[in-house]
Structure 1
């Protein structure tokens, strides 16, 4: 379906299905492996991925994240771009010294994760961009998983397993042995105490546990603007680990940087909504599960973040009522350029 210029984002979302069964079947028929099976490195050969990592004061986790990128088992070209969003710790020094990093950008001041991701996307050379948080440790097959399945109209979502901060002998967080647990992600196992839900406004009569991933057939039933408990399709797009077509991101104008200025969160949900409205399918990769390393002060950080949730949610709802973003590539490039002229950029 072609997106009309005057369509609201909410209306455009309501018109889009999310039936990705044929896409998965075509991949399995062509490769002989399951969609959710860890990918042999050779299947990624010639399929480039640009990894964009926004980083602000995550020196505690960044070494482990970059080490996991350096250890990826893939034959596809990989470009790693770290955008230091005005850190005041050793984030910049860690990225500068690590051999996995191809390009390091140091913004003149903190602009927010949305702006940092936009700068990284602007610099990215691959058709596929993997947004990765600076506290997400990848399994060895993850980049091959994304590269082998990437298409110009797919949003490929990975998952995260949060682990509490436990320092090792060097003071850095210990990364658990073995594979991360898919069920630990809140899109797989979701719990509510009941009452009105913050995102959808739906009211639950009491404590509820749901499984958005399983109960919606890998998010397919969330097409056409459908809801499951507090989840719709756009909300399943989480930038902790998600691969997107660069050209589509540029055309919708990238991330809305206003979200980062008024509070926390929702910029990834808005980008997901914009890409879905433009015709992208949201397809999960159950095998792509990484460890999310909580900071030492995780509880305090969450309290601060949640205080900003109402403001960003209100802004998101306003954006749903506005026109769906299309044809915004020039504005995207201009905004990124304005930040880059004042930034320090180093490449290998």
Structure 2
């Protein structure tokens, strides 16, 4: 589709992923949304990439949860510290589950940190995970067992309030996070208020169920919307697995988003991967505890203030050609970040 705009490419792509989910069930005897036993991931390598910026309050619990994962597949854990001013990097390189810890010399944004991690990744599948996201023990096996060269695997998050420990970290949570806590599952938008992503205004309250209403996102292909949600917007890098080869080919995440503010870089990555032939598939069982920071309210307001700028940039990119063949540029850009970075590898 050389010369085709990204928006045009999205309108031409379906999201019928039934052949992937059915093939998995036939091969393993497991349901697509069923938690996987450790042996289901045998022989299937996974690179977990965590971008981290001042997340020392949560990172020990996150890394402990990764160390407790029950997966027979090879796993590497790469933490990329985006020039934190707290103990994030020290926490990362001292934890035994971390195979590579990187500290960027200057703050470059979450997109750049994720790109650096993906550059160093050795597995065919890269799992992006927020550095404040605590995973149940089956999630890495779930992802590794289902990964394919065309699947973008989408997990979910249950935001929970920060709970400190006497040692200064966050409490390692027990129990199961709730799938319904994610806005892509249950969503109640305001009435008589402009929804900025789609530009529509609802005249009455809506009890929305995006995941169910779109048949696990299959009905969102060909550029369709579910009110304020479309397929690219379902790709949220808090818990997102992507084929590394496709990620590199589209040039990784656009780092301009990080310079502008917060948000939309993962939506753009989703759009680029869809245009590159990928299918976006949810894993309902892959739900993590997203630990809000102690100052969550203030951080959220700061993020929202920057969203108009990042949304405008995303719309600008939709009018440009669909990204492809950008592997050389991806390597060049990420290698520049690594020149002055501190890298500790086990």
The offset of 1:192, in angstroms, is: 1.1
Question: What residue number does 1:17 align with?
Answer: 14
Q: Retained in 2: the 8 A contact 1:85–1:111?
A: yes
1:170 Cα shift? 3.0
The answer to whether the Cα contact below 8 Å between 1:59 and 1:90 also exists between their aligned partners in 2 is yes
In structure 1, the partner of 2:76 is 79
1:96 corresponds to 2:79: no
Residue-by-residue CA offset, 1:118-151 (whole Å, 9 max, x unaligned): 0000000000000000000011000000000000
Query: What residue number does 2:120 align with?
Result: 123
- Taking the TM superposition and a 5 Å limit, the aligned residue runs for 1:170-181 are 170-181=167-178
Distance in 2 separating the partners of 1:176 and 1:66? 12
Say whether the 8 Å CA contact 2:38–2:138 is kept in structure 1.
yes
Quick check: 1:9–1:320 contact (8 Å CA) kept in 2? yes
Kindly indicate whether the alpha-carbon contact (under 8 Å) linking 1:175 and 1:291 is maintained by their aligned counterparts in 2: no
What RMSD over aligned residues (CA atoms) do the two structures have, in Å?
Answer: 0.8
Partner of 1:261: 259
Shift of 1:165: 1.4
The aligned residue for residue 299 of structure 1 is 297
Shift of 1:177: 2.2
1:149 to 146, 159, 169: 146
Listed as ranges, the matches of 1:204-223 within 5 Å are: 204-223=202-221
CA distance in 2, matches of 1:174, 1:81: 22
Equivalent of 2:329 in 316, 323, 331: 331
Write out per-residue CA displacement over residues 248-294 of structure 1, whole angstroms, 9 at most, x where no aligned residue: 00000000000000110000000000000111000000000000000
- SS in structure 2 at match of 1:72: coil
Identify which of 29, 40, 53 aligns with 1:56.
53
1:277 corresponds to: 275
- Aligned with 2:322: secondary structure? coil
Please list the CA deviations of residues 168-219 of structure 1 after superposition, one character each: whole Å capped at 9, or x if unmatched.
3334333442111000011001121122111110110132221110110000
2: CA distance, partners of 1:345 / 1:209: 47
Structure 2 length as normaliser, TM-score? 0.98
Q: Which 5+ residue runs of structure 2 have no aligned equivalent?
A: none
Structure 2 equivalent of residue 249 of structure 1: 247
Answer with 65-74 or 187-196: which moved more.
187-196
The 2-side partners of 1:166 and 1:67 are apart by 16
Q: Which runs of 5+ in 1 are unaligned?
A: none
**What's 2:44 paired with?**
47
Hey, what does 2:30 align to over in structure 1?
33
